[in-house]
Amino acid sequence: MKRNLIILPAVLLLALRTAGGQGAPAASTNSPSLDELKKQYEAIFADLQRQDHDSAKILKQRYLNGLAALEESLQAAGNKLSAVLAVHGEKERFEQSGAIPDSALAAGLPALRKLQETWRAQTDAWPREQAQRVVATSERYLQCLANLQKTLAARNDAAGVEAVKASKEKLLSNKMVRQALELVQTSKPETPIGKEPVAPEPVTPVTAPATIVEVGDYKFYPQGKEPPLKNLQSWRMDFPSSDRRSAQFFYDVHLSVVIDKSARSVTPRITVAAKNHDIPAGSKLVLEYFIRSMGRTATVSREKAESISLPKIVRGQAYIVDSKGVNLAHYFWYSSSGRDFYGLIISMFDDDGKLLFQQCGPTTLASQCAAAKPE
């Protein structure tokens, strides 16, 4: 697991003694200004976001490397065709979905099962660890603001005090900070050193759905039971803003596409997973397709929006669904300049229209992302 390698600025270290914020801030006659505190906090916050993005890539590649090594060792051992096929199939499945549901766990191959359980343990722990870092960083920032406010009040700097209060309110209303705190408070805490762990209350285990679910014109497949698609390729997606990145604590959405150049069509396949929150039935997955005109000057515009009603997805479950996609053949025949698929925005709304999750690809579509459900 990648460690937090950022070196806190000296003035922030002088203000706080430990990463957990233990101990009172040290008195200082040379307190950092509000602008300095803001820059320090924003720099640390941005670094945490980069770490989160990097960690997902590292864990994914580590698992794929483990599968490759296991497949190679089984192949070299001989008389292991069924085991080699099982590992090879898991590699292809994981490259498409990026997740390991209960239905994909290997039953008769202990070495593969160990790799799978290691990956699940690491990825299950990471959201809470990351949320703890966000909370701890925010708490340190609040302490520094409190110290600065006292200093400014002692100087009778009313305008400065009001500016500090405004910064405090901005932090307290930050969506990512609030959701990180919620995750830390609702997830299982670590057992303190020297204390016996308390036996948990009996809980019915959540398993991945075993059957295909149909909602309207769409079929939702448990991972591992989806039909194969030729030429399926990953489509890079990212969050349009830092505040919407907080949704990764609760949900996970992966997208791959089949691009048929001869038919000039694009068909996305989406994996939707509930990580730390249920996704209520009646929620909507909305795909907005964008095209690029290839005239004298390239222009990007939205071609269509597709709305997919979701079944209820409880914590620990994941479904795969194929969208209808977009067909650009008519543009090719009726326009001398032609139009090509450019990218898309994928959003998830609950049944009340509240935005739960949103990503776009490429990131140049971030300015087109809206919190309201499109028509």
Residue 45 has a CB neighbour count (10 Å cut-off) of 18
| Phi, psi torsion values for 290, nearest 5 degrees | -120, 140
- pTM for the whole structure: 0.53
- Say which DSSP state 362 is in: S
Cα–Cα dist 270/82, whole Å: 29
Q: Rounded mean pLDDT of 162-174?
A: 91
Report, in this order, helix, strand and coil percent for the chain, each rounded to 5.
45, 20, 35
Cα–Cα dist 272/294, whole Å: 33
- Say which DSSP state 321 is in: E
The string of DSSP letters for 203-260 reads -PPP----S-EEETTEEEEETT-SPP-TTEEE---B-SSTTGGGGGGTEEEEEEEEEE
Which CATH number does 213-368 carry?
Answer: 2.60.40.2420
Beta-bridge partners for 349: 284, 355
Cα–Cα dist 346/253, whole Å: 9
Cα–Cα dist 91/116, whole Å: 11
Is residue 306 predicted with pLDDT exceeding 50? Answer: yes
pLDDT value for 320 = 93
Is residue 371 predicted with pLDDT exceeding 70? Answer: yes
Is residue 192 predicted with pLDDT exceeding 50? Answer: no
> What is the residue-averaged pLDDT of the chain?
79
Domain with CATH 2.60.40.2420 in the chain: 213-368
Cα–Cα dist 226/137, whole Å: 42
Cβ–Cβ < 8 Å for 5, 50: no
**pLDDT tens digits, residue range 341-362?**
899 999 999 988 999 999 998 9
